[in-house]
Structure 1
Amino acid sequence: MPNVLLVDDDPETGAWLSEFVKAEGFTIAVADSLRSARIQLTRSMPDVVLTDLMLPDGLGMELMEEIGTGGSTEVVVITGHASVESAIDALRGGATDYLVKPVDIERLRGVLQRIPKVEHFREEIGELRNELRKLGRFGHILGSSPPMHRLYDQLSRVAPTSASVLLIGESGSGKEVVAQTIHDLSRRKRQPFLPLNCGAVSPQLVESELFGHEKGSFTGADRQHHGFFERANRGTLFLDEVTEMRPDLQVKLLRVLETGSFMRVGTNEPIATDVRLIAATNRSPEKAVAEGKLREDLYHRLNVFPIHLPPLRERGTDIELLAEHFLAELNEQEHTNKRFSSDAIAALYAHNWPGNVRELKNYVHRAYILADEVIEPEIAAESFVQKSHSSVLTIRVGTTLEEVNRRVMEATLLECGNVKRKAAEMLGISLKTLYNRLAVYQAEKGEIPAGDETEGDEADESAQDERERYPDRSPAE
């Protein structure tokens, strides 16, 4: 039977909490100070510690030193309304949840029902991290670059807790996928995960979508409607683009987070809810606060555990990994065997991907439709090649120098619009050397035999340069 250590110096609170915890199927030990709690911890390590934040001889969070953050014991902080910021600090310090006095019975019951399963989730996350090394995948997320490994470490730490999470990343960087992964690795994974894009819903309807409404509460409200906070009870609510929410609704959102209750539009009756909130924004939250787009008090409440998602351009070889993954999915769906050419892969690395993973996925889909068997860089080139002004090329560590030279040369040609004289100047080599190397690369692909065929090509290139410099001049001139 799981065991709870209750640490509270108020005898009345301790008495009723003890009875409730016992009724939920736990054994319980009680302490009224840090000193007494530490003595209890030396005797046996409980499954759950319910501790008041303010104790006669210190802060309840000081017990984390004895408990540690790597074990299976969960710490739930109990605090008064005036100490919500302290509770947020407690969550950052390793607590898995917090309750506001007077303690809501349903919220406490939800906490106790989830607690015994925490060790299972930590083992599951550990297994996922091991699989990551083999497959480059973590939950729903794909990627094996160093920035993604740092992201996975953050997710593995925050997912088993009930802390609010603020995802910060550019559009298309995968914020909803990350939110879904946090939910699926949490104790709430069997409960609903509901996403709501605050910027995609009419400002007049956001309140009704979040909190629901009663029949007849406004024109068109012909029936009672349960909002996201009601439908996501004991689950996770993902609010994307939270800075697009009206300031008056931000106040109501803050109240729900602090009290665990809300009211439907058209009624004054509070409804209890136990929802983990994950918010996201594609702008700097600090700048949004300064511009009045995000209330500062709500920002601090959401910013318990901020996570910055890396843009695709900073993820190195994940670009190729994701492109191959998206293409493999399409091949499986359509029973085909299309592939990227080496030139197409070089083009992927040469692009800056301002639309991030979403842009890459859309490009692969378009290129797949247009290609016969092999996807070449000129297929669907208008999608990104002509827009690309990037001079950054990512090379795997351990790539041979010969392959590096080939990749740099091909990427430079793409950057120059395939004008070879300009590419040779950028590379610091003669035009003849460029042609010779390209001939070798083409011969390796079986396209043409290696050989010195530069004289005619140089003449063609010179003619092309002349046409580019003097577009109005006739051929005779």
Structure 2
Amino acid sequence: MFDSHYEYAGHVRRDNVVAMPTRGPAIREPGGLSRFGLMYGASPAMREVFDLLERVGPTEAAVLVVGESGCGKELVAQTVHQLSPRADAPFIAINCGALPGSLIEAELFGYEKGAFTGANRTHPGVFERAEGGTLFLDEITEMPLEMQVRLLRVLETRCFTRVGGEREMRCNVRVVAATNRDPHQAVVEGALREDLLYRLAVFPIALPPLRERATDVLLLARHFLDELNREHGTHKKLTEASEAAILRHPWPGNVRELKNCLQRAYIMSENWVEVDPESAMPGMGARPALRPGVLEFEVGTSLPDMERRMIIATLDKFAGNKRKTAEVLGVSLKTLYNRLNEYARREARYATA
């Protein structure tokens, strides 16, 4: 149900976000879009999401956001934070799938100086850094099961101990979690503890993929182009052919893919922006022909590019399950993470060129 495109490994990101009014309807933007918190949309599916956020934001309920990669799950978490009484306190985000099992405990709960080799100072974990605010746990189904047990206890007792420490510490954080997998299927497959699921999913929110937001696609494309024009003092416009191509494309990478595509096209265009979502990204080689379960490559495609596409397609097949992907491809989980980080850096270079 919630097949992943792919999501790059990340780390702890923002500490604070600007507070906004705690209540109120979506704000109508020029061009037909509505803005609610940090999110944009005009489709019935997004209006429903806005309504859910308006209801749950001011509460203390734990929220589980479920949706494909690139849909904006972190924006949902930030909007929940902004709508809450905790809006002036820290917002901390961590990608549970980005850290090796040996490091995730220290990143979550911190460690004392001398707790292990290389621990040259005391380090507060994300539960401490988010004190009084909101902690966003992305890719929760990628967290090792033994750590899920520890996390469940912390959520229930609001107490934790740093690695290498003896003093129990209390925490006051609101947790918003997210996954790009069907959480109930993840329980069946043994990737998520059932008791943790029900502790996190007090208020679940299903975020629709872009292909189910037909009325939003072109509005978002124009919005992203308007942002680029304002940023650079230009007046570029989409061609009619580009708008038609945008409407035809299924956007498997969702809003993230759309935004990156618009940015690349903007950089390459003069006054009229030509968008071709079906073309390969610069430097990435030819796009392979697709049949269900099959990848086909043109003769002359580089081995690194073939490897990259095979990794991404296998991640798709196993709904973002990195452990299963690594096992099937015959590589270590560390090697898979290294490859994904490499692809993330490469994509970032093209997006900011």
Match of 1:319 among 197, 217, 224: 217
Are 1:197 and 2:95 counterparts?
A: yes
Are 1:155 and 2:53 counterparts?
A: yes
Are 1:230 and 2:128 counterparts?
A: yes
Name 2:115's counterpart in structure 1: 217
Name 2:272's counterpart in structure 1: 374
Percent sequence identity is: 54
Deviations 1:342-399 (A, max 9, x none): 111110010000000000011001101111111234598335997899xxxxxxxxxx
Unmatched 5+ stretches in structure 1: 1-120, 390-477
Contact 1:350 1:388 in 2 (8 A): no
Residue range with higher mean Cα deviation, 174-183 or 197-206: 197-206
Query: Partners of 1:199 and 1:365 in 2: how far apart?
Result: 27
Correspondence list, 1:366-445, <5 A: 366-378=264-276, 381-383=279-281
Name 2:302's counterpart in structure 1: none
Q: Kindly state the Cα deviation for residue 202 of structure 1 after the two structures are TM-superposed.
A: 2.1
Query: Partners of 1:274 and 1:287 in 2: how far apart?
Result: 30
Question: Over alpha carbons, which structure has the higher Rg?
Answer: 1
Name 1:275's counterpart in structure 2: 173
Equivalent position amino acid for 1:187 in 2: P
Change in CA separation of 1:387 and 1:136 when aligned onto 2, cut-off 3 Å = farther
Are 1:181 and 2:79 counterparts?
A: yes
Match of 2:192 among 294, 300, 303: 294
Match of 1:341 among 239, 261, 280: 239
Match of 2:248 among 350, 353, 372: 350
Local SS of the residue matching 1:288:
helix
Query: Partners of 2:259 and 2:74 in 1: how far apart?
Result: 15
Q: Kindly state the Cα deviation for residue 336 of structure 1 after the two structures are TM-superposed.
A: 1.2
Local SS of the residue matching 1:317:
helix
Change in CA separation of 1:218 and 1:346 when aligned onto 2, cut-off 3 Å = same
Change in CA separation of 1:187 and 1:314 when aligned onto 2, cut-off 3 Å = same
Equivalent position amino acid for 1:354 in 2: P
Name 2:206's counterpart in structure 1: 308
Deviations 1:139-196 (A, max 9, x none): 1001111000000011011000000000000000000011001100100000000000
Query: Partners of 1:347 and 1:334 in 2: how far apart?
Result: 25
Deviations 1:14-71 (A, max 9, x none): xxxxxxxxxxxxxxxxxxxxxxxxxxxxxxxxxxxxxxxxxxxxxxxxxxxxxxxxxx
Query: Partners of 1:354 and 1:264 in 2: how far apart?
Result: 40
Change in CA separation of 1:379 and 1:142 when aligned onto 2, cut-off 3 Å = closer
Deviations 1:192-243 (A, max 9, x none): 0000001112221111111000011111111101000011111000000011
TM-score by length of 2: 0.72
Local SS of the residue matching 2:92:
strand
Local SS of the residue matching 1:188:
coil
Contact 1:366 1:380 in 2 (8 A): no
Local SS of the residue matching 1:179:
helix
Corresponding residue pairs, total: 267
Q: Kindly state the Cα deviation for residue 129 of structure 1 after the two structures are TM-superposed.
A: 2.9
Q: CA RMSD in A?
A: 2.2
Query: Partners of 1:216 and 1:288 in 2: how far apart?
Result: 37
Equivalent position amino acid for 1:226 in 2: P
Change in CA separation of 1:169 and 1:318 when aligned onto 2, cut-off 3 Å = same
Query: Partners of 1:217 and 1:298 in 2: how far apart?
Result: 28
Name 1:129's counterpart in structure 2: 26
Correspondence list, 1:9-88, <5 A: none
Equivalent position amino acid for 2:154 in 1: V
Query: Partners of 1:296 and 1:346 in 2: how far apart?
Result: 44
Equivalent position amino acid for 1:196 in 2: I
Are 1:258 and 2:258 counterparts?
A: no
Query: Partners of 1:131 and 1:345 in 2: how far apart?
Result: 22
Q: Kindly state the Cα deviation for residue 268 of structure 1 after the two structures are TM-superposed.
A: 2.6
Query: Partners of 1:193 and 1:140 in 2: how far apart?
Result: 14
Local SS of the residue matching 2:243:
helix
Equivalent position amino acid for 2:240 in 1: S
TM-score by length of 1: 0.53
Equivalent position amino acid for 1:129 in 2: A
Contact 2:33 2:219 in 1 (8 A): no
Which of the pair is proportionally richer in helix?
A: 1
Q: Relative contact order (alpha carbons < 8 A, sep ≥ 6): 1 or 2 greater?
A: 2
Equivalent position amino acid for 1:322 in 2: L
Contact 1:351 1:388 in 2 (8 A): no
Equivalent position amino acid for 1:206 in 2: I
